[in-house]
Amino acid sequence: MGVNLGDLLTKEKCSLKDLSGKIIAIDAYNALYQFLSIIRQRDGTPLMDSQGRITSHLSGLLYRTANLVESGIMPVYVFDGAPHPLKAKTLAERKEIREEAEKEWKEALEKGDIETARKKAQQASRITDEILQQSKKLLDLLGIPWVQAPSEGEAQASYMARKGDVYAVASQDADSLLFGAPVLVRNLTISGRRKLPNKQVYIKIEPELVKLEETLKNLGVTREQLVDMAILIGTDFNEGVEGIGPKKSYDLIKKYGNIENALEAIGKHDAIDENTLKTVREIFLEPEVTDDYKLEWHPPDEKEVIAMLCDEHQFSKDRVMTALQKFQRMKNMFGQSRLF
C-alpha cells in the first residue's frame, strides 16, 4: 500500500504526549484496515458479535480514538472518495490477494495450522460498505468529526495539513508526504505492541514523525523530485520501473534531476509513458480536494453508543463506559468554534 520510500525518510520518535493539544487528520481507510487485520483472535477469526458480524473495526475505532483523545489529541478521520481510474489495477490486485488469502486461511484452519491461518486471515481483511457506514455512524455518535474526501483520503488530509487546519496526517504509508503534508505521523492508530510477522515476538511500537521539510532538506531534493522518485519506484497509480527501488531511484533523480532525464540516461525512456507520468504527477501535486468540512468535536452520545455497541453488537458495557469517560478530556473543545 502506498509508495515504499524505505529508509529515505527522516524519522523522529515521539510520544502521544508530544502530540497533545494538536489536531491530527487520520487516514480512515488506513486505520480501519489496521483494525481489521490486527484485532483478531489467535486463529485469525475477526472479532464478531453473536450473529457473526465483524466488529474489529468498531472495537479499534472506539478504544484507539479514546486513547488518542485521552492523550489530548484531537482526531479527525478522513475517508477515501472515488478512487482515481489509475488506481484500478492496484485495487484489482489487492482484491485478488485477499481472495487468495481467504481461501488459504480456511484451508489452514481445517489443517489446524493456527500460525498460517492468522497470517492469511490478516491478508484477507477487507473494508466493506457496511464497515464504512458503521464506522461513520460510530464516529458521529462519539462526537468525532470525519471528512469525506472527493478522491484520495490522504490527499484531502494532506491538504488540510498544508492549510494549517490540522497539525499532521496519520497514516502508515508515506503518500501524504508526496501530497505535501508538512508532518506525517506513523504508528498512531496501532497499539503499543505489535507482533512481528511470522514470529512469536512482540515489539514495542511508538509513534514517529516524518517532517516533509526536513526529509527534503536531508535528501537535497524538492517535493516534485520526491514525487518523481516515487513514480520510478511505483505508486498506487503506476507500476514503476523494474529493478528500481528507493535507493536507486534516489540516486537517479539526484543525478539527473527528473524522470525524463533519468530514464533517458539509463536507456529506458519508454518505461513510463508520457501520459501516465503527467497524470500521476498531477495526482500528487494538484490532487482533487475539498474545503467542505467542519472540524467540531461534540460530547459522545453515550446512550446511542451503548445501544449500538452493547445492545446491537454485544460489547462489554463496562469497557465501553470506561472508554467513553476518556472523551471528557475533550470537553473544552465540545461546541468550541475556531478563529479560522
Partner 1 sequence: MFQAKIKADILKKMIDIVSPLVNEVKINVTPAGMSLRAVDPAHVAMVDLSIGASAFEEYKADETEIGIDLDKLASVMKLASSGDTVEMELDDVSNRLIIRIGNLTRKIGLIDTTGMTEPKVPNLNLPAKITVKASELLQGVKASESISDHIALTATEDAFELFAEGDTDTVNLKLPKDLLIELNAPEKCRSLFSVEYLSSMIKPVKGDQPLTIYLGNDNPIKLEFDFADKNARAIYLLAPRIESE
Site of interaction with partner 1 (CB under 8 A): 21-23, 74, 164-165, 167, 182, 213, 296, 331-340
Look at residue 268 and give its three-state secondary structure: coil
- Residue 314 CA to residue 323 CA, distance in Å, equals 15
Tell the smallest beta-carbon distance from residue 262 to partner 1 (Å): 29
Tell the smallest beta-carbon distance from residue 169 to partner 1 (Å): 15
- Give 208: exposed, middle or buried? Use CB within 10 Å, 0-12, 13-18, 19+: middle
Is the distance from CB of 289 to CB of 156 less than 8 angstroms?
yes
Task: Name the helix (H) or strand (E) containing 204.
Answer: strand 202-204
Cβ nearer to partner 1, comparing 29 with 167: 167
Cβ nearer to partner 1, comparing 193 with 294: 294
Look at residue 266 and give its three-state secondary structure: coil
Cβ neighbours of residue 96 closer than 8 Å, sequence gap 6 or more: none
Sign of the CA dihedral running 39, 45, 50, 52: positive
Cβ nearer to partner 1, comparing 23 with 277: 23
Cβ nearer to partner 1, comparing 22 with 268: 22
Tell the smallest beta-carbon distance from residue 213 to partner 1 (Å): 6
Cβ nearer to partner 1, comparing 165 with 224: 165
Tell the smallest beta-carbon distance from residue 299 to partner 1 (Å): 9
Tell the smallest beta-carbon distance from residue 73 to partner 1 (Å): 10
Written as nine digits, the cell of 77 is 478521520
Cβ nearer to partner 1, comparing 20 with 322: 20
How crowded is residue 73: how many other Cβ atoms within 10 Å of its Cβ? 27
Tell the smallest beta-carbon distance from residue 176 to partner 1 (Å): 16
Residue with cell 480512515: 28
- Residue 46 CA to residue 40 CA, distance in Å, equals 4
Look at residue 205 and give its three-state secondary structure: coil
Is the distance from CB of 121 to CB of 45 less than 8 angstroms?
yes
Is the distance from CB of 75 to CB of 24 less than 8 angstroms?
yes
Cβ nearer to partner 1, comparing 190 with 333: 333
Task: Name the helix (H) or strand (E) containing 170.
Answer: strand 168-170
- Residue 326 CA to residue 58 CA, distance in Å, equals 16
The amino acid that residue 39 corresponds to is I
Cβ nearer to partner 1, comparing 322 with 336: 336
Tell the smallest beta-carbon distance from residue 74 to partner 1 (Å): 6
Tell the smallest beta-carbon distance from residue 296 to partner 1 (Å): 8
